[in-house]
Each structure stands twice: as structure tokens, then as C-alpha cells.
A and B are shown apart, each in its own frame.
Chain A
């Protein structure tokens, strides 16, 4: 339920969303039509009948060509034709023109339709970047910024998460590009798709044309903690819990199960993508990711085949495929492949939160179950017409149930599906368990595989290609160093009273604030981590730069800034920290010794206008950055406390930070409470002060080491 008393997806919002969605579809159809007209006009301009006769009547030929050129390249003309004729002498001149403008309008309407039903989607990083790009006052500027966004390699991850808009994004990108890419077959001319957002018309281009991916699957060991959570008995919920345990980094699980009849059968369990976490099997861009969802041959399905071959499943063995989200879609695609079904007998395909959409398996005897929550936008992007295939089939069980209302990303998690199968739709669990009777026995063998796509370097390579070690925490094992693949940060630096800063540092230690002319510095750091190994989250930290713990000297922080980060003796002591995810809180407290609390936040730190608002601690930072200058990378050493020891954490960052005057950026406290951070901000006088300067890093990658406990 939202503050206005409406729950997302109420009838009035559905009506508004449906109207906008229909209008968007209509406008996009018009854009496609105009593009076709543009292509035919371009063909007329290059027609040999015209070019071949020009020498006979140059004046009339010139007039005809000029008229055609004007229609294409005039101020609001049809734009550069999408058609590139074979052996054409050169690209025709002109801009993307009218089709692109109309397509951008269609996309804006589609965005409005999605936000009408799911306003929480506005906070999605991809949606934010898209709406920023579309918000330009004039159509040509919006077309330019949208084209730049769609081509930006760094934006592909965020755009891949815009599942409800994906069909339109792919269609609009094609319109903006104006001509097909090399290797694009007819499949790239997919219509935007039916209401459920799936490109049902037209073939999917072959994988070589899209990606040329080199699929790979590496067997990996499960951690001790994971071994304890893996189910030892075959059951539907047990398999889903296995998927939940693996969903952190996109591994799949293959198991042998001895059925009640004593026959050993095989179960493949594939998790979906985890928004905001890195993946090594990722396609090149968002359009490839979208098309791979509907292809029987994609890097994802290839790597699953390799895993099954490595596991040693004999030909003709019984196989049950169980997946969530994208994993379920990949498994269903495998079951649609006649070659795969000749090699193995696929008896069951069970998906939760996957867009099954009535696709048929190669073996008609395969029992298919598709379970989706109406509030999950991945299988059912939006729109009341969307949903499972209407025709009943004896080997098909489809359930599209109304789960509890809630924001989109949460409604797609496998954890929510498990909970719903226990409490909301227990009959679905019983039905699937009945169907899985041959697989309901003890698990004999378990093996996990990590899927890779060797065509691309690992994400974050080379800066984030690091040796890692698994550390147990209350929320599960965490790989350290923790890696941040896509983050933004703003560090607001204040001059504060040195005595006040000293008063906030831990008593009984020799930790003293670094001094600058009798004053100390305090840094309020705001972070938005859109993709990290501990998931997406926001972070706000209040720190005080402190002197060398053993040999404190005046101005040592200034001298230390000239040294490499790993040689520095000074650092920033974390006074308080608020993060927006439980996993991040566990890591901060247990690994880095930082006093973290949980607080959700709305952050927008990528542009020149900073916005950061926390819910629970009442901290709001807003303001426009002035002109800035480039400065060196802001590597830091962070100090925390665990038990009676100091914990030193090294933070290495890679980005393009800029130093700005902070006069226009304001922080305000909207709470009377003192804990957890507001009281410290007041004692330092930051609540009423202007920052001395702001160090802004709109996009960077970083890694934080495991905390090293210092001997004091």
C-alpha cells in the first residue's frame, strides 16, 4: 500500500496503464510505418531508372532528386532511410528524422504505462537513465540522448533490467540506428510484440549473428554453508531452495535423485538473474540478452548443455528441469530443442517467474508447469492481457496467481515464490509435487557449475579480476574483496571542530583526528552501488580522517595523500554507517567492523544535481554541483572497530572523480532523533554547515578488501 492509499495495480491504475500501453503500441506502429515509407523513398532516390536517365535530362532529374532528398532530409523530413541498398555508393544523408521522433514518443508513453502500474520502478537505475535521456525538452535532443544511452556500453547492464520495456527498446533502437547492423537477419525486424512483451513474430537470429559466444561451464565446489542448505530429499520446494542458495552468482545445480522405484533420475536447477550482481555469462548488450531469452541456442543454453555433458548424464536418462526467471526460460528453451530431447528424456519442465507464454516442448510428453505472480513484471511485464497461454493442455499446468501486492524487484525473487507456494498457493505446490513423484527420493549426488561466456572478458576486467576468498557472515558466505561494478559517490567534506571530532572517536584508543590548522575534517559519503557482489544497495557513511595510529603528526593526511593507498598510515574512521540491504549491513559489521544500521534510501548521484534521501535516519542531501576539476583517484583506508581492535580496510577505486565547490549542496536533517547518525552530525555542526568541497564520482568501480585487524 502506498502513502496515497492505493496499492500498485489497483483498477484505476490498470486502466490508465492499459490506455497508455495501447497508445504507445499505436504510436510505435506509426513509427514503423513511417520508417518503411522512408526506406521506399530512399530506394526511389537511388533507383537506376532515375540515376540512369539523369544524363539525358539533367534539369528534370535534378529537380526529382532534389524533391526526394528534401522529403528525406528536410527539417522534419522522413529521415535517413533504414534501407541500405546492396552496393549503394554511399550512405544516404539525413538524420534519423520523423520515425525516430515518433518512436521516442512511443517509448515515453510506454514508460508512463509501466510507471502507472509500478511507480516503484522509477527508482530502477536503468529506468532512471532512460527517463533522464527521454526528458530533453526538444525531440532531436531526446533522440540524441537516447541514441547515446542505447550505445553506451556501460548502460547495457542497467538497460537489460528493463524487461517490461524491452520489446519497445529493441524496436526503438533499430529505428534510431536507421539501418540494420551487419549480421542482423530478419529477426532484428521483430515487431514490438504482443501485450505480454514477448517478440512472438519473426524468427530469432542465430546466435552467431548476435553474439558468437563461447559458452563454458566450470564445475565449482559448494561452500560448507551452502552444502548445509542444499536439500537432501527431492521435492519442489527443496529444489527451489537450492535455486535460492545458488542465485547469488548464477551457478546451476545438477543432482541425481533415487526415486521411489529405485531408478536414479537427474534434476537440473537453474536460478534467474540477480539484479545488481555481476555475471560472467552475460550477452554483449541488452538486445542480445532479450533475444537470447527466446532462442533454443544461446550462450546460456549452450553452457547448460556443457554442464550436463560434464556431469555424465547417460543418453536417454530421465531429466527434470526446474528454473526461476531467466534460468527457467533457458531450461524451457532446452526442452524445445529436438536434439536435446533426443539425447535425454525431459520428463518435467517447471518454471517460476519465467515467461513461458505457451511455447511448446519438442517432446509432447514433457510435463510443463509455469507458475507466475501477477505482480512480477518479468514473466508478465504489465497489462491485463498478458499471461499464460489460454489453451489448456493435459501435460501443462499454468498458474498465474495474485500474490500480495508489493514493489517489483521483491516480487520476482525466488524467496517470495517459495513463501507464496507455502502460504498463498499451496495447491500449486501439491500439484507439482504429485507430478514430481518419480523424483521424490534421496539425493545421491550434487554438483554445481558456473556458467561462462568466454567471448567476453569477465565483468570489470582487469580492475576487478582479483583472487577472492569466501568469508561466512550471518546472511551467508561473502567473497572478499567485495567488488563494486557500477557505483556513484559524492563525498561532502566539512571543516569541523577538532575537539568535537575527537569526542566521537572511540575512547581509550590513540585514534586522533587529522588536523588542518586546528580544525578537523569530517566526510559525509553518499554511495549508490547499482551492481556489486553483495547486491545493489545505497550507503551513507560519516567518517573522520584520522592520523597515523602509532606516530601521529600534524598535517600527515596531506603528506599521505601523495602516497599509494596501500602505503598510507592515515585513514577515515567510520563513525556511523547506514546501508539499505541486510547483506551489506552484515558485511560492514562482521568483516569491516563498521557500526552499520539498516536504512533505505533514494539516491541519484550520477548527474550534476545530487539527490540523496534516507528514510529511517532522516538525512536529505540535495543540490547542484558547480564547475569542477579532475582529481586523482580517491582510494581510501577505512578504519572500524571490532571488539577492542581496530580494523583496517583498503578501498581501491577506478573512475573519474571531480572536485567541486560545495556551496550549492545542502544537507538537512528531517528527524529529531539522535541515533544513529543525526546526533553525530549535530555535534559536529554539519547539519547547519556548507561543505568545504564535494568530491564527486558519478561512475566508478571499486573493491574493498577484507578488514585487517590491527594489533591494538
Chain B
């Protein structure tokens, strides 16, 4: 017996791609936050600055950068899944074009139909 999936419940090809794009953008945001935290740490000089503030902000900036890397990895994994499921085949050329640009070296097996 074949189960028919209603159109509104089917995974949309654009959904995963949009998520991956958003994750990449968020990774860039986190890098920006890391820079802002470092700039704040640099601004906190003089006797007014609490001793703990600089190392704490630097640690948090490092954590932001680490999270940015993890988000990029997750974005790549999402794209890989999208290629594997073949949901990219129905996508528009423009979207597929974005897909190619985001493909990491060696991760393009059967990416496009």
C-alpha cells in the first residue's frame, strides 16, 4: 500500500536550503559578536575595569567563534542531507546555483540531479 503524502506535509526542497543559508548567516553573526566582545574587552581599560572582565569577555568571544564553526558544520551537514535525499532536484536553477556555491570540496557526491 502506498501512503500518499499531502503536499502541505511534504518536506519542501527549499526548506533545508533556506535553513542552511540561515545557519551560515548566523555563523557570520556569531563571528561578528566575537569581534564585538573583543572590542568591549579592549575598551575596558583603566582602574574602572573589573579584573575579571577582560578574560571573561575573551573566553566568551572564543566560544562565539567555536559556535560559529559548529553552525557552519551543521549547515554543511544539512546541505549534504538535502543532496542525499534528492530534494534539490525539484529546486529552481537559481537555488541549485546557490547549492553549488555552498558545496564543500569532496562533499558533492550526487548532489545535483
Give A contacts to B, CB under 8 Å: 15-17, 19-20, 23, 26-27, 30, 33-34, 37, 40-41, 44, 47-50, 52-53, 56-57, 59-61, 63-64, 66-68, 70-71, 74, 76-78, 98, 101-102, 105, 108-109, 112, 116, 139
Contacts and interface: CB of A to CB of B under 8 A. Distances in A.
Q: Which 7 A-B pairs have the closest CB atoms?
A: A49-B15, A16-B48, A67-B74, A60-B81, A71-B70, A76-B63, A64-B77
Contacts of A60: 77, 80-81, 84-85
8 contacts: A23-B40, A33-B33, A49-B12, A49-B19, A64-B80, A67-B77, A71-B70, A76-B66
Contact of B29 (A37, A59, A116, A139): A37
Given A23-B44, A60-B84, A77-B67, A105 B74 contact: no
Contacts of A59: 84
Contacts of B23: 40-41, 44
Contact of B40 (A26, A61, A70, A108): A26
A17 B44 CA distance: 11
B31 to A, nearest CB: 11
B56 A139 contact: yes
A67 B40 contact: no
A388 B52 CA distance: 35
Interface range, B side: 35 or more
Interface of B: 9-12, 15-16, 19, 22-23, 26, 29-30, 33, 36-37, 40, 43-44, 46-50, 52-53, 56-57, 59-60, 63-64, 66-67, 70-71, 73-74, 76-78, 80-81, 84-85, 87
Given A33-B29, A44-B19, A76-B63, A52 B11 contact: yes
Contact of B44 (A19, A44, A53, A76): A19
B46 A16 contact: yes
Given A19-B43, A20-B44, A41-B26, 11 more contacts: A16-B47, A19-B44, A33-B33, A52-B11, A57-B84, A61-B85, A64-B78, A67-B76, A98-B67, A105-B53, A116-B48
A101 B60 contact: yes
Contacts of A116: 48
A112 B50 contact: yes
B77 A20 contact: no
Contact of A67 (B46, B48, B70, B85): B70
A49 B11 contact: yes
B11 A48 contact: yes
A48 B5 CA distance: 13
Contact of A57 (B22, B66, B85): B85
A46 to B, nearest CB: 11
B74 A68 contact: yes
A57 B77 CA distance: 12
A44 B57 CA distance: 28
A63 B81 contact: yes
B71 A71 contact: yes
B36 A30 contact: yes
A71 B67 CA distance: 6
A16 B44 CA distance: 10
Contacts of A41: 23, 26, 71, 74
A98 B22 contact: no
A39 B100 CA distance: 27
A56 B74 CA distance: 19
Instruction: Give the residue among A20, A57, A67 with the most B Cβ atoms within 10 A.
Output: A67
B22 A34 contact: no
B39 to A, nearest CB: 8
Contacts of A47: 15-16, 19
A102 B60 contact: yes
Contacts of A56: 85
Contact of A52 (B9, B50, B57, B60): B9
Contacts of A15: 48
A26 B26 contact: no
A81 to B, nearest CB: 12
B40 A76 contact: no
Given A23-B44, A34-B30, A48-B9, A53 B81 contact: yes
